[in-house]
Amino acid sequence: MAAGRGDAYVSPVPADPVIEVLRGVPLFSHCRDEELRRLGRLSERADFGIGDIVVREGEIGREFFVILEGEVRVLVGTREVAVLHAGDFFGELALLDPAPRNATVIALTPLRTVLLGSREFGGLLLALPGVAARLLQGMARRMRQLERAAQGDPRRALEDG
């Protein structure tokens, strides 16, 4: 399913344990429990080994990842821009716009993720059109957070509103 997944072990993910993880993602923060359960049923678990490239800068993105266990290094070019841990996520824009990835993500430790593909996600939006409105709310919230952070107000960057 995913370019750059190499030898990752992929299997279905039981939906209920994923609900709280997905709820923590700004894009999905306004979704109802049943919608999150459906997203969970559409998700897969993907495990990676140390040094595995999860996504590669410049390749077309088609999946979104949430880290369940482990750490990843995020590189833009050769510059490290972040280290992400359990509960963090990356690639959410690939669900909405299959554009080239803007970073490379490499597993620093054994890594367990939940991934959601853009095709499955698109099918959910067609089946449950109300989800789209809630996703837009989540995106607007995230944009406000990023705007506040860019304006140099870190204490307000994570506020709702």
Question: What is the pTM for the complete model shown?
Answer: 0.73
- The overall average pLDDT reported for the chain is 81
Greatest mean pLDDT among 19-28, 50-59, 96-105, 128-137 lies in 50-59
- Interior/surface letters 72-92, b for 16+ CB within 10 angstroms, e for the rest: bbbbeeeeeeeebeeebbbbb
For residue 113, the Cα-to-chain-centroid distance in whole angstroms is: 10
**C-alpha span between 27 and 146 (Å, rounded):** 13
Report pLDDT digits (tens) over 21-43.
888 877 777 788 888 888 888 88
**C-alpha span between 151 and 102 (Å, rounded):** 23
Domains of the chain in sequence order: 9-150 (2.60.120.10)
CB 68 within 8 A of CB 114: yes
What are φ and ψ of residue 124, in 5° steps? -65, -40
What are φ and ψ of residue 25, in 5° steps? -90, 125
pLDDT band at 2 (very low <50, low <70, confident <90, very high): very low
CB 18 within 8 A of CB 43: yes
pLDDT at position 66 over 60: yes
**C-alpha span between 108 and 151 (Å, rounded):** 32
Which residue has tokens 């990752």? 8
Report pLDDT digits (tens) over 106-132.
999 999 998 988 888 888 888 877 788
**Coil, helix or strand for 17?**
helix
